[in-house]
Chain A
């Protein structure tokens, strides 16, 4: 997404001034000095992003929304932190990794404003609509500004040879499925975005249980994506540096069915789609060498919900050859050859050992 010019980022539309928020004085949220006759004087002690403290600036009118949001994974990034912590084998992150998290990971957390007023900081910010507050975040400027390289590209059909999600083609935006409640609130103890009883399920709209013989035959054995998603992006070898960070190996499109690493009452399926995530044993070495002593505690082929859903996919083309008796579509031990012993161990519970016949 092209970055806005610095002046465009802070240009306020005239119509904002007659909106509910526009009728407040600027300093009631941003402090500063509204009578200052130079930029420096006017900006003295200014609060650029008031909603970083939502209980003070937002909840005076919006009840407890801000306080609740602070606990959500969107704000806390608790899922990331918990994943890193688990791989370190420690009860809390070390000082070095906390420092890394604050410097490199925390910029992706959201405030109220980064969804409802501006683009996220991770894409250098700037007003969405001249400081007008948008009740509904903009899919392009907000949601996929962060969730872009995988979900955004999949949903819009931007990966070579892969068509857009059927829901995108019907005009759905993210919030059509992901409710306000899901995005604002946190489940107690949630360590993953999937730990949310308000997360969308296909069954919320589709009556799939016995709608056709394939659904009846597979029941709860497969997640919907196993049959109805297309190839998706897998990433490898990301390193979080102090100066330069990034993925050092090109991402690849692929499709792998594996055993469900997040099996629960809400996710009872035996087989799900798995996406390779770019964690390496030395991903954080610049911040703390050999910190991931428990690297194998979590799979590197992670539970995935690709956002490129179609009714008819290569998997539905011919059941007798697409999946059944087709080891290539499953994550097997053969796929792990060439990986480190640690990574092979990490994935031992998600590889498929017996190909369905």
Chain B
């Protein structure tokens, strides 16, 4: 019985370890290179986004149907 429990614990530990390793902390390129996605590089960088943003006319948000 003890061996069975030890075996189950071992299998679970390996499973959890592999799951953690295989879960990227940042979305990576889907090309398998492991590089950080261009989307993440730009969309988490406020300065970069400001530089890329085209000036837009200011409009008031409208509150619609009640």
Q: How far is the CA of A139 from the CA of B58 in the complex (A)?
A: 23
Q: 1/0 per residue A149-161: CB within 8 Å of B? A: 1111110000000
A151–B25 CB distance below 8 A:
no
B46 CB to closest chain A CB, in angstroms? 6
Least distance between A17 CB and chain B CB atoms (Å): 5
Contact A10 B49 (CB under 8 A): yes
In the complex, what distance in Å separates the CA atom of A153 from the CA atom of B66?
9
Contact of B61 among A26, A39, A145 (CB under 8 A): A145
Task: Name the CB-closest residue of B to A148.
Answer: B63
Interface size, B (range): 20 to 34
Q: Is there a chain A Cβ closer than 8 Å to B53's Cβ?
A: yes
Q: Within 8 Å of chain B (Cβ to Cβ): is A2?
A: yes
Q: Is A117 part of the contact surface with B, judged by Cβ < 8 Å?
A: no
Q: Is the CB of B44 within 8 A of A122?
A: no
Interface string of B35-46 (1 = CB under 8 A from A): 101111011101
Contacts of A26 in B (CB 8 A): 27, 37, 39-40
Tally of chain A residues near chain B (CB < 8 A): 48
Instruction: Pick from A23, A25, A148, A154 the residue with the most CB of B within 10 Å.
Output: A25
Is A265 part of the contact surface with B, judged by Cβ < 8 Å? no
CA distance A2 to B62 in the complex (A): 10
Given contacts A11-B46, A17-B44, A42-B38, contact A23 B65 (CB under 8 A): no
A32 at the interface (CB under 8 A from B): yes
Give the docked Cα–Cα distance between A42 and B65 (Å): 37
Residue among A12, A13, A17, A152 making CB contact with B25, cutoff 8 Å = A17
A-B contact count (CB 8 A): 112
Instruction: Report the Cα distance A280→B30, complex, angstroms.
Output: 54
| Chain A, residue nearest B63 (CB) | A148
Residues on A facing B (Cβ under 8 Å):
1-3, 5-7, 10-14, 17-18, 22-28, 30, 32-37, 39, 42, 108, 119, 122-124, 131, 144-154, 233, 275
Which positions in B face A, CB cutoff 8 Å? 23-31, 35, 37-40, 42-44, 46, 49-50, 52-54, 56, 58-66
Q: List 14 A-B contacts (CB under 8 A).
A: A1-B61, A5-B53, A7-B53, A11-B46, A17-B44, A23-B24, A25-B30, A26-B37, A26-B40, A30-B39, A32-B39, A108-B64, A122-B61, A146-B64
User: Would you list the 6 A-B pairs with minimal beta carbon distance, nearest first?
Assistant: A150-B66, A148-B63, A123-B61, A7-B49, A26-B39, A7-B53
